[in-house]
Structure formats: structure tokens, C-alpha cells
């Protein structure tokens, strides 16, 4: 069976492609820059959000499953409209074509930001009512809605909501935290006591493989993450161990 993967050069997409190939799936990559990936095998151009329907239907020819990793994130120059075009409209166009042409699964990599803002304190699960607080989160939530609408009650599509992802070539807040860890600055442990859920890129890819392969109907959304949340101080200390640095976390007076 063949799986179409978008965003295959990204932090998670590379891992997804590798895990699917190891499991015996054939891969078709859809990329905004296909000319850079000719050595990667079967590579198609990823249509833009305003491309004609035929471009998306052609992309799905011979495909059984779709894993949609491509997204707009961590772009301070992006407008609300930019986020909506990439994360919502493009998702809807892909989902509509896949629902018409593919008999298998559609796995949409979403985010916990589709449910809650970064200041939320508590447990996020599948039953929680979405209340996104930023342009990125709102666009990912809209993508989830459009995906389920495209599949019109068929239990073959799902949104996999991920917390911050770490791994090689990560970007965003986790990359900033890693740069901070790669300094000799002492940091106040008390200020870094808040806990965060994270997920490794390889773990996220394993979750995708499970959802593609598992029998039975899919739920509209799943939340994935590492087994236990970590305090920010633990994350900093782990990064510093990796850099060969001492933790340098200073206890705060009571």
C-alpha cells in the first residue's frame, strides 16, 4: 500500500517517512519544492491551497493513506490569513480529494494549540472542548473541522494533537530553550518549576504508524505525548547534560 506524506522533510515528517518505509509501505512525498527531493523516490509537487481540484485528485491517484505533516508554524511574519490558508484550507483540499480517491486513513498532524493556549494549566485530553488562543491554534482547529467534514461521518480520518516536539533540527520554543541551555548562565530553579508535556519526533512518528495500521474505526482526534510531563528545570538540565554542562540551577529562597 502507498502512503502520501506531506511535510516529509520536516522534523516529524522525516521520522514518519522512515517508520512507514520500515513497516513495508510505499511512500509518495508531496513537497512545495519537489526539485530538491528527486533522490527521495516518488515525489510530487504539493498543490497550493488555491490550486484546482484536479491537482489534488491527481496527487491521490494510487494512494491508500495520507499523512499530512505540512504546516505553517513559528513564523512571526505570518498573518491570520496565511495560517488559515496553509493549516485549514490546504488541509480541507487534501482531505476532500483523499475522501474521494483513497480508501484508507487520513492522519492530520494537529497540535494541542488547537485546544488550549500556552498559558493553560491542566490536563488536555480528547474530551476537552477546543478553545484555541492564537492564530496558529485557530487555524489547526479549523483544519480539524474541515477534515471531519470532508470525511462526512466515515471513521477513517483523525487529527493527532501533539504537544511541543523535540528532536534533531527542531525549531520554535524548544529550540530557544536548547540555546538557553547551551550557555553558562545560572538559572533560578523555582521560576522553571512549571511542568510541560513533550513528545519526541520518533514517538510522534510511531503514533502515526499505529493510527495508519490499527484496525477498527478512528476517533476524530487523539492526544499524544511522552509518558510523563517534565518540569522546565528538568528539561534545561537534560539539555545541559547533552552539552556536557553542569545543570547550574540555583534554588530559590523560600
Q: What residue segments make up the domains of the chain, in order of their start? A: 2-163+198-223, 167-197+227-254
| CA–CA gap between residue 202 and residue 130 (Å, rounded) | 26
pLDDT at 67: 98
pLDDT at 186: 75
165 SS3 class: strand
- Measured from the Cβ of residue 126, the count of other Cβ atoms closer than 10 Å reads 12
| CA–CA gap between residue 251 and residue 188 (Å, rounded) | 6
Topology of the domain comprising 2-163+198-223:
Rossmann fold (3.40.50)
The H or E element spanning position 48 is none
User: Poorest-confidence range of 8-12, 27-31, 109-113, 234-238?
Assistant: 234-238
Contact 94, 56 (CB under 8 A): yes
90 SS3 class: helix
Q: Is the pLDDT of residue 247 over 90?
A: no
pLDDT at 37: 66
| CA–CA gap between residue 12 and residue 201 (Å, rounded) | 5
Q: Mark out the alpha helices in the chain (DSSP H runs).
A: 11-22, 53-59, 80-83, 90-101, 135-151, 172-181, 201-213, 232-242
- Which of 68-77, 87-96, 115-124, 164-173: highest mean pLDDT? 87-96
pLDDT at 159: 97
pLDDT at 10: 85
8 SS3 class: coil
The H or E element spanning position 58 is helix 53-59
pLDDT at 253: 56
Query: Which of residues 31 and 47 earns the better pLDDT score?
Result: 47
Q: Is the pLDDT of residue 188 over 80?
A: no
Q: Is the pLDDT of residue 168 over 80?
A: no
Identify the band that residue 15 occupies on the pLDDT scale cut at 50, 70 and 90.
Answer: very high
| CA–CA gap between residue 167 and residue 44 (Å, rounded) | 26
Q: Is the pLDDT of residue 5 over 60?
A: yes
160 SS3 class: strand
Residue with cell string 470525511: 151
| CA–CA gap between residue 209 and residue 93 (Å, rounded) | 23
Enumerate long-range contacts of 175-180, CB under 8 Å, 24 or more apart.
Answer: 177/232, 177/235, 177/236, 177/239, 178/239, 180/236
Amino acid at each position: 500500500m502507498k502512503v502520501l506524506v506531506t511535510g516529509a522533510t520536516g522534523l516529524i515528517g522525516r521520522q514518519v517517512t522512515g517508520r512507514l518505509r520500515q513497516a513495508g509501505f510505499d511512500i509518495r512525498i508531496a513537497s512545495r519544492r519537489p526539485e530538491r527531493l528527486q533522490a527521495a523516490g516518488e515525489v510530487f509537487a504539493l498543490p497550493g491551497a488555491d490550486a484546482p481540484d484536479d491537482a489534488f485528485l491527481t496527487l491521490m491517484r494510487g494512494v491508500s493513506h495520507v499523512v499530512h505533516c505540512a504546516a505553517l508554524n513559528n513564523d512571526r511574519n505570518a498573518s491570520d490569513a496565511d495560517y488559515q490558508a496553509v493549516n485549514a484550507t490546504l488541509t480541507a483540499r487534501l482531505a476532500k480529494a483523499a475522501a474521494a480517491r483513497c480508501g484508507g486513513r487520513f492522519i492530520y498532524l494537529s497540535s494541542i494549540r488547537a485546544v488550549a493556549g500556552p498559558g493553560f494549566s491542566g490536563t488536555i485530553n480528547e474530551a476537552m472542548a477546543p478553545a484555541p488562543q492564537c492564530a496558529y491554534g485557530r487555524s489547526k482547529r479549523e483544519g480539524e473541522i474541515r477534515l471531519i467534514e470532508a470525511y462526512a461521518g466515515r471513521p477513517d480520518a483523525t487529527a493527532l494533537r501533539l504537544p511541543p516536539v523535540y528532536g534533531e533540527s527542531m525549531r520554535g520554543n524548544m529550540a530557544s530553550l536548547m540555546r538557553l541551555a547551551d550557555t553558562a548562565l545560572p538559572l533560578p530553579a523555582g521560576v522553571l518549576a512549571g511542568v510541560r508535556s513533550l513528545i519526541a519526533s520518533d514517538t510522534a512518528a510511531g503514533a502515526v504508524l499505529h493510527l495508519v495500521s490499527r484496525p477498527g474505526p478512528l476517533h476524530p482526534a487523539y492526544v499524544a505525548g511522552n509518558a510523563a510531563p517534565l518540569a522546565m528545570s528538568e528539561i534545561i538540565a537534560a539539555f545541559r547534560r547533552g552539552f556536557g554542562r553542569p545543570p547550574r540551577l540555583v534554588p530559590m529562597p523560600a
